[in-house]
Chain A
Amino acid sequence: MIELNINGRTHAIDADPNTPLLYVLRDHLALSGAKFGCGLGQCGACTVMVDGQATFSCLTPISVLPGRRIKTVEGLGTIEQPGPLQRAFIDEQAVQCGYCIAGMIMRAQALLEKNPSPSEAEIRRHLMPNLCRCGTHLRILRAVRRAAEQMRVAAAHEAKPSDS
């Protein structure tokens, strides 16, 4: 058994240590947000976060993950209460077929957790590993900018009571 901490919960996984995290998420835990695109770390559809950093789950064997914090798109919000990035992707209608979007959102989440006010160049450079074949890149960029703005506003709002 390998214990994995995913979205704050511990799961005991009965699988070969070589198994890619992606397979465990989708096949063992029914967390099917992350997608299998290429299996080679070339497209980003499988992106999740490990210890706050964007990671290709198709190339990450579960053997390297005990003791690390894994976050998937399911950990950002629910259908009723989407997280800021999910909300922004909906508001900007940044999805066409949607296959790449969970990966896009998770890579953007990793950026915004580290850098709440990224420049346009920083957003573009950071999202470079993720591909969208429908071509909604410009809407994806708008959604990331919108989410960054909303997260800054929310953070300022939260910070206020403690300031006074």
Chain B
Amino acid sequence: MNVRMILAGSMLLGVLASGGSVDRPLVAAVPASPESALFDAALVAKGAELAAVGNCRSCHTQPGGAPFAGGLPLATPFGTIHSTNITPDPDTGIGRWTGEDFLRAMHDGVDRAGRHLYPAFPYDHFTRVTALDVAAIYAFIMTREPVRAEIPANRLRFPAGFRPAIAVWKALYFEPGVYRPDPTKSAAWNRGAYLVDGLAHCGACHTPRNALGAENKRQDLGGGEVERWHASSLIETSPAPVPWSADALYDYLRRGHEQRHGIAAGPMAPVVHNLSGAAEDDVRAIAVYIASRMQRPESAPAGAADAVVAAAKEREAGAGSGATSGNAASAVDGATVFAGACAACHGAGPTSRSPAPVALGLTTSLNAPDPRNAIHITLEGLWPEPGEKGALMPGFAAELTDGQVIALVDYLRARFTDRPAWTDVPQRVSEVRQGMQSEP
């Protein structure tokens, strides 16, 4: 009996065991065009929660497009690829895929026709998702509205455009396997580790990649990049001035902000938006596991976090006070820009009307090893999706010249953190500006 048969068998058993009524044949008998009615409602609901953890919707949906209908262009160092339509449309989606086809894509990175899939689809993580969980996700996906949507052709540079090249990549970097629980750890920790390394694929952004685009496992979750944003380290090198606790992480992942760390922005914003639909216990488990990975060897003395918070608030109170006053002309000076553009929300002085929810000195973006996130937020602001709750900050791309942005970002780093000045601010400002212009 080969592995695939074992998997398929265990998947079917899992589906049955999870509450599917026994008299209905489920995954194994999926016809060419599966009918929604074949899937048990509880299994579909579980799949919805898991798909939220997997953040499937973010990549497989275009802005303003039908959910899961794909077509989102993903810029990679090797060219642009488009996410696929994973609605159950038989011709342009995955409507003809059986549960086994779907499992094989998740576990082995091949499509229904047996072609290798680009690892932008993170099967290097999904390979660790149990067949039971994959079956639930399959049930959820197959009961979505089918959408007929052709996907534009990928534009990749040689040899990445040549699919057999992916076989070489897989031979080098792809390790199929299952999650092995650590019996010395709690059930929540193990569930968290299983989700983080598998379905949630946190490392896809938070682990640095090598020249061939594979995650560097020796720096697992040590900080990476995505869409010209810096993805923070989720291990003991985390730049957060107040160490993250599991409770703080849970709040952040569930609500999108946490008052001692910051607000989910950029590519992390849709992740937390999706996680609001995940099972509460799963989000807690992720928080427990990540908090343990971030734990530093030395334990901080009691009250250290409160002292950091108090110091950050004190710095905010006098911010902008070094500003050029009187009638001195328009010297580009970060403190002056701050006093005029930022202090209304981020200062505690007389001009402040509405304190921002997070003290600047506590934010991960200002304490990060590179300035990109701070520049993104300065230029673009924070905008919740239309109709969604969330922090709102106007961007200053129109107001401030590059020179003024550079001066402001340098000032923010010096004024609100104890960390060394960033050395690459001018180059990063022009990169972020270029990115904003190239986006629609």
What's the Cα separation between A2 and B329 when bound, in Å?
Answer: 6
B313-334: contact bitstring with A at CB < 8 Å (1 yes, 0 no)?
Answer: 0000000100111111111010
Closest approach, in angstroms, between the C-beta of B207 and any C-beta of chain A? 34
Whether the pair A53, B398 counts as a contact (CB closer than 8 A) is yes
Contacting residues, chain B, for A62 (C-beta < 8 A): 340
Q: What interface size band does chain B fall in?
A: 20 to 34
How far apart are the CA atoms of A151 and B46 in the complex, in Å?
Answer: 53
Give the nearest-CB partner of A42 in chain B. B392
Which residues of A are found within 8 Å of B329, using beta-carbon distances? Answer: 1-2, 17, 66
Given contacts A2-B330, A128-B386, contact A40 B64 (CB under 8 A): no
Q: Is A82's beta carbon under 8 Å from chain B?
A: no
Interface flags for A92-130 (1: CB within 8 Å of B; 0: not) read 000000000000000000000000000001000100110
Q: Is the CB of A61 within 8 A of B340?
A: yes
Alpha-carbon distance between A19 and B344 when the two chains are bound, in angstroms: 12
The complex places the Cα of A59 from the Cα of B345 at a distance, in Å, of 10
- Of the listed stretches B110-118, B183-191, B273-281, B399-407, chain A binds B399-407
| B127 beta carbon closer than 8 Å to chain A | no
Cross-chain contact A59 with B398 (CB below 8 angstroms): no
- CB atoms of B344 and A60 under 8 A apart: no
Cβ of A162 to closest chain B Cβ, rounded Å: 30
Question: With A17-B336, A55-B398, A61-B340 as given contacts, are A39 and B386 in contact (CB-CB < 8 Å)?
Answer: no
B423 CB to closest chain A CB, in angstroms? 24
Residues of B within 8 A of A54 (CB): 398
A17 touches B399 (CB 8 A): no
- Contact of B339 with A by CB under 8 A: yes
B353 on interface, CB distance cutoff 8 Å: yes
Confirm or deny: A5 has a beta carbon within 8 angstroms of a beta carbon on chain B.
no
Contacts of B344 in A (CB 8 A): 39-41, 58-59
Complex contacts, B33 vs chain A, CB 8 Å? none
- Does A18 sit at the interface, judged by CB under 8 A? yes
- Which of B320, B323, B336, B341 contacts A60, CB < 8 Å? B341
A63 within 8 A of B: yes
A40 touches B345 (CB 8 A): yes
Is residue A51 contacting chain B, with contact meaning CB distance below 8 A? yes
A14–B399 touching, CB < 8 Å: no
Known pairs A40-B345, A51-B398; A60 contacts B327 (CB<8 A): no
The reply to whether the CB of B394 lies closer than 8 angstroms to some CB of chain A is: yes
B397: chain A residues at CB < 8 Å are 53
- Among A131-158, those with CB < 8 Å from B are none
The prevalent SS among residues of B at the interface is loop
Interchain CB contact (< 8 A) of A42 among B325, B340, B341, B394? B394
Chain A contacts with B in 25-82, Cβ cutoff 8 A: 38-42, 50-51, 53-56, 58-66
Most central of B323, B327, B328, B398 by chain A CB within 10 Å: B398
Considering the complex, give the chain A residue whose CB is closest to the CB of B335.
Answer: A18
Residues of B within 8 A of A59 (CB): 340-341, 344, 394, 396, 399
Whether B337 is near chain A, meaning CB under 8 Å from some CB there, is yes
Is the C-beta of B354 less than 8 angstroms from some C-beta in chain A? yes
Could you say which residues of chain B place their CB within 8 Å of the CB of A41?
344, 393-394
In whole Å, how far is B64's beta carbon from the nearest beta carbon of chain A?
7
From B330, B383, B393, B396, contact of A17 by CB (8 A):
B330
- The answer, among B64, B327, B393, B400, for a CB contact under 8 Å with A64, is B400
Q: Which residues of B contact A58 (CB under 8 A)?
A: 344
A91 proximal to B (CB < 8 A): no
A-B contact pairs, 25 of them (CB 8 A): A1-B327, A1-B329, A2-B329, A16-B327, A17-B323, A18-B339, A18-B340, A42-B392, A50-B398, A53-B397, A56-B394, A56-B399, A59-B394, A59-B399, A60-B340, A60-B341, A63-B324, A63-B333, A63-B340, A64-B337, A64-B340, A64-B399, A66-B330, A125-B386, A128-B383
- Interface pairs A-B: 6 shortest CB-CB: A61-B340, A53-B398, A41-B394, A18-B340, A18-B339, A66-B330
